[in-house]
Chains A and B, each alone.
Chain A
Amino acid sequence: MSHEYHDLPFWRKYIFSTDHKMIGLQYGITAWIFLLLGFCMVLLMRWQLAYPGQPLPLIGGWFGEDRMPGGIMLPEFYNQLGAMHGTIMVFMGIVPLAVGAFGNYIVPLQIGAPDMAFPKLNMTSYLCYLAGGVVMLASFFLPGGAASSGWTSYPPLAVIAPIGQTAWIIGMVFLISSSLLGALNFIVTIFQLRAPGMTWMRLPFFVWAQLVTAFLLLLAFPPLEAGAVMQLMDRVAHTSFFMPAGLIVSGQHVVNTGGGSVLLWQHLFWFLAHPEVYVLILPAMGIVTEIIANNIRKPIWGLKSMTYSIIAIGFLSFVVWAHHMYITNMGTAISAFFQTTTMIISIPSVIILTCLFISLWGGSIRFNTSMLFALAFLPMFGIGGLTGLPLGLATPDIHLHDTYYVIGHFHYVVAPGTIFALFAGIYYWFPKITGRKMNEVLGQLHFWPSLVCMNFIFFPMLIQGLAGVSRRLYDGGASYAHAQPVLYLNVVMSTAAFIMAAAQFFFIINLFWSMFKGKKVTSDNPWEATTLEWATPTPPGHGNFEHPVTVYRGPYEYSVPGAPKDFSPQCEP
């Protein structure tokens, strides 16, 4: 079987591949490129925020007279960058990386499956994602540029925006189709293709995380698709799903007849986008749990309650969406309901985090690079989660809504949270994919500056937000009186962002250097781990396992008393 696969022509093996590992790598490479692009966009914005109105040195002339004349960013271009930074990071960077790449590569291996249940759907899912990404990027070259109404695309602004917004909608439809196909593939794979003996409670936590994530993607994305279709109709056919009557823009009546509801879009959008937040974080928790279990050499404390918690999060995440809408006039009764559910959903999240913290107690911890990233995830996600509580309560949210506090809060969850977990995952699974370990020195050079800079970027945002600085200011607050006491922080944040960008070069160098020159692993299980992906050859061939596997034990049986080694793999009787 594996021999046949190697004989496939180039385009079948690398481009239109149906092998879950190749598709995982395709997803991974594409998503890292998008992540890098999204990061570069925000670096441009950070220059403008720290030094508003000053020409960008060196590369300022690259962007053309209609975007940055003389190297000075136009407000329209700033808005495009802001909207596309959010869209790219969420829909084309982190989700495809956490689910498409890690999920595709690791889930079938961890459950002892030969491949995903529907390999051709898997390929279609990647190609839809690629098409959506290309449409999104190409929209920068349309007249009026890319979408500029924020990643949330609130009407009426989004409906009257230039043509780039239409491209945004079409790109989103591709991305939604992609994640729909991926999600149902994951669910069927996890239900149907578990190896004999792999009962539900023996599933590694990463697989549980992916399963819950897949359900969120499956059920939460369609309402946004409905919303996207309606917004497309509003833009193209001049319907008024989201358009109020009598709207006047630049002194002219808008052609839409009116009678629609602006709030309707917000409901449809956040019905997706709040579960989406958990789509961003749950796979990260899964990755971190795998790495922590492996590097503390003892069982995860409270694994069962973690599993129940993640299921609870999955259900609850569908009933918290309107906490993004407290300052719309939807009414105090509804606000009271949604702030209650929001407080409830923080409980299972705290359970998971607490279990991981307690697991560290008494372990003989191996501080390799992947473990450092995984450990850093815990307090960083902790800050992100706890700063969310004031936002989840309707009253403090009135003050904090749409300030930099919100930006600081969710970036703490997603940037030093999820992205650190993704880095940890790369360092951890790299030997399985390439047969070589990544360099530890370069890894540390990557980790420490990233950790410090992340906090210097995002903590000042919390301070600025508490001072009342709005998140939508093109000049970073320079022209606002109440922003003056905290204005100096803009330079701090931007400097930290530029240093962090420099630190990422250590990662890129490490990635390519280790791929060809890294230390070769001597066994298929270099980290002495228990889960099934390490029972495959390195790298796994087509069909993954050389012999059918049977599972005999739970996922993290480390240091079992009386066992011959300090790890008891799941597939050994």
Chain B
Amino acid sequence: MEIPYIVEERPDTGFNNATLGIWLFLSSEVMLFGALFSSYILLRAGAAHWPSGASILNIPLATLNTFILVFSSIAMVFAWAGTKQGNLPQFKKWMAVCLLCGLGFLVIKTFEYKMKFAHHMFPSTSTFLALYFTMTGLHALHIIGGLIVNSYLWGPGSKMFQEDQRHFSHRVEIAGIYWHFVDLLWIIFLFPVLYLL
């Protein structure tokens, strides 16, 4: 017996296996970053004074990073559409854009970290910076994980396109759901909470 519902949906649950799996995974990610956010609230509420993000962090660079991630999510959608429509070159092109955006985000992030270190701002300097480095660092690890998966799909993994286009498209979709989540994490959580609040 083979494992069923790898690509097609199970009628009574309305899911296939990996779609359900990735949403469960994301729910646990929500708990992970939710715990960090709760810690942020608790530590901030208990602090005698709390710096505004703008006075320490570089908002223009972070805004640029936000737009890069928004664009990478759009690129991911076009790449996925390419696999759906049987257009491998379109997939390859947009996935490359998506990968470059992810890399660009990390380069800018590294640059931001370096500027902080140059000004003698370390995680140990203050609780705000500790939270900043921990949260953005953990997010950067998630970006790196997404880049590894996406570059596999762009490179060796794309051989599957010829053998089983539907299955491949499904894989890109799953990777896309994760990628959008990681982008959203930055756009609606880390960027506003750390830089703007």
Contacts and interface: CB of A to CB of B under 8 A. Distances in A.
Interface residues of B, number: 41
Interface in B1-25: 1-5, 10, 13, 15-18, 20-21, 24-25
Contacts of A544: 1
A119 B138 CA distance: 27
B28 A222 contact: yes
Given A226-B39, A256-B124, A261-B42, A192 B130 contact: no
Interface stretch (A232-240, A437-445, A475-483): A232-240
A389 B116 CA distance: 52
B115 interface: no
Interface in A356-405: none
Contacts of B123: 233, 237-239
B28 A184 contact: yes
A219 interface: yes
A134 interface: no
B1 A543 contact: yes
A238 B124 contact: yes
A229 interface: yes
A368 B5 CA distance: 41
Given A1-B1, A118-B21, A180-B28, A259 B134 contact: no
A218 B28 CA distance: 6
B43 A260 contact: yes
A185 B48 CA distance: 45
Contacts of B56: none
A237 to B, nearest CB: 4
A544 B4 CA distance: 14
Given A233-B123, A233-B130, A268-B35, A114 B3 contact: yes
Contact of A545 (B1, B25, B31): B1
B122 to A, nearest CB: 7
B1 to A, nearest CB: 4
Interface of A: 1, 113-115, 117-119, 180, 183-185, 187-188, 191-193, 218-223, 225-227, 229-230, 233, 237-241, 255-257, 259-261, 264, 267-268, 271, 543-545, 548
Interface of B: 1-5, 10, 13, 15-18, 20-21, 24-25, 27-29, 31-36, 38-39, 42-43, 46-48, 122-127, 130, 133-134, 138
Given A191-B10, A229-B134, 15 more contacts: A114-B2, A114-B3, A180-B25, A192-B13, A192-B15, A193-B4, A218-B24, A222-B35, A223-B35, A226-B35, A239-B124, A240-B130, A241-B127, A260-B127, A548-B1
